[in-house]
Structure 1
Amino acid sequence: MNLSNKIAVVTGAGKGIGRATAMALAKEGANLVIISRTMSDLQSLAREIGNVGRKVLPIQADLTRESEIKGVIQESVSKFGGVDVLVNNAGIGRFARVEELSTLDWDDMFEINLRAMFICTREALPQLKRKDESFVINVASLAGKNAFSGGAGYAASKWGVLALSKCLMLEERDAGVRVLAICPGSVDTHFFHHPSLPKPNREKVLKPEDVAQTIVDAIRLPQRAMVSEIDIRPSNPK
């Protein structure tokens, strides 16, 4: 896909992988709808996107509210006339052993990591299917393939992301909607600082820009080619 003047919607765009992906798409010529809970993060990102000459619509939204997700897609269509690329990046992590993990933390992870992704995708699909080609990128995790102590809730939600992505790919590939689940390993984001997670060498873990570039490279493939799943991990994190 040539991203020039395409419309890309990115959730969780305020920080980390979402922010880096929004900038990478803008540098390829896309116009952006950026979504986050924190308006100050969106405003600074919007300035950066504007500086590379692209249009941008920042939307502060709570993705646990279905009505706000629907509003995001409606605003995107009203502002730009449609959606070409959806990047479902918003996600949270609450890490604790099963006997110590609260129901609230479990529910929060599934609401943001999986339920919001499902609703965003469902609401965007009519717009995506109007295009000759379009793309859904779901940011999963290697935690969605590998169990680890203290990660039951997070890993389970990311396993769900992979299942959702595979079903969506099978349902919509004939409509020209390509679907990619990307599974990063250790990335230098706010997750890196969680006290219960192991601390690999920060100089050797992935940067958000590495994941963002991988996403852009997958989108830019010819229409006849679809990469449906990518694992990306540090070459040597030790």
Structure 2
Amino acid sequence: MKLRNKVVWITGSSRGIGKAAALALAAKGARVVISARREEDAAEVAGEINSNGDAAIAVRCDVRDTAEISKVVHQTQELWGEIDILINNAGVGIFKKIVDTTADEWEQMMQTNLTSAFLCTRTVLPGMIARASGHIINVVSVAGIQPYDQCGGYCASKYGLLGFTEVLRMETRKFGVRVTALIPGATDTDIWAASNFDRSLMIKPEAVADAIISICEMDNSALVETLVIRPRSGDL
């Protein structure tokens, strides 16, 4: 798919992987929808993109809220038309032993990491099916393919996201909609701010963004179903 003038919505795109992907996609000529819970954070990224002569809009969106999701889609349609690519990137991690994880913390991870992908997908998918075109990329995590200590809620949400992605692909392939599971290992983002890990050994968000570009630009005769990216030195 050629990216010029394609409309891309990236959830959780005010920082980390989402921001890096937004900058990279905009540089390729895509029209990028930046959404985050804090509109000022989204606006900062959109401003950076627009100052480079590329195209972006910023919209406040809590991806757990169906009304706010619909608002993003409608605003995008009015300005640029239909969404061609959806990148479900919003996520949160609370790292505790299961016995110490509260019900509210569990629900926060499930709603943000898993349910939001369902809600956003459900909103844009009918249009993609009708046009027999579109690409949905779900940013999972290696915590969605292997367990980690003190990661019960996060792993559960990401395992669920991978399962959702694989079923979605089965259901939409015949309609011309492409679905990819992107599975990055430890990436140097704010999720590690309180950790003692050496962030210099982690994947740079820009490297994940490069992978997203490659996935999106793949010839229409092919599909990257699942892509795992790990730090060069291996898991931390």
Letter in 2 for 1:91: G
Letter in 2 for 1:119: L
Q: Any unmatched runs of 5+ in structure 2?
A: none
* Separation of aligned partners in 2, 1:52 and 1:213: 19
Residue of structure 2 equivalent to 1:6: 6
Residue of structure 1 equivalent to 2:152: 152
Residue of structure 2 equivalent to 1:223: 220
* Separation of aligned partners in 1, 2:52 and 2:133: 25
* Separation of aligned partners in 1, 2:55 and 2:147: 41
**1:139 aligned onto 2:136:** no
Q: Is the 8 A contact 1:85 1:128 kept in 2?
A: no
- 3-state secondary structure, aligned to 1:129: helix
Q: Any unmatched runs of 5+ in structure 1?
A: none
**1:97 aligned onto 2:94:** no
- 3-state secondary structure, aligned to 1:194: coil
Residue of structure 2 equivalent to 1:235: 232
Matches within 5 A, 1:77-92: 77-92=77-92
Residue of structure 1 equivalent to 2:62: 62
Q: Is the 8 A contact 1:17 1:212 kept in 2?
A: yes
| CA distances 1:106-151 after superposition (whole Å, capped 9, x unpaired) | 0000001011110100100122224453210100000001111110
| Corresponding pairs, count | 235
User: How far is 1:79 from its partner?
Assistant: 1.6
* Greater shift in the superposed pair: 110-119 or 69-78: 69-78
**Identity rate of aligned residues, in percent?**
36
Residue of structure 2 equivalent to 1:207: 204
Q: Is the 8 A contact 1:91 1:109 kept in 2?
A: yes
Q: Is the 8 A contact 1:86 1:136 kept in 2?
A: yes
For the aligned residue pairs, the C-alpha RMSD in angstroms reads 1.3
* Greater shift in the superposed pair: 132-141 or 114-123: 132-141
* Greater shift in the superposed pair: 46-55 or 168-177: 46-55
When the two structures are superposed, what TM-score results if normalisation uses the length of structure 2? 0.96
* Separation of aligned partners in 2, 1:32 and 1:152: 33
When the two structures are superposed, what TM-score results if normalisation uses the length of structure 1? 0.95
Letter in 2 for 1:221: M
Residue of structure 2 equivalent to 1:24: 24
* Separation of aligned partners in 1, 2:55 and 2:99: 48
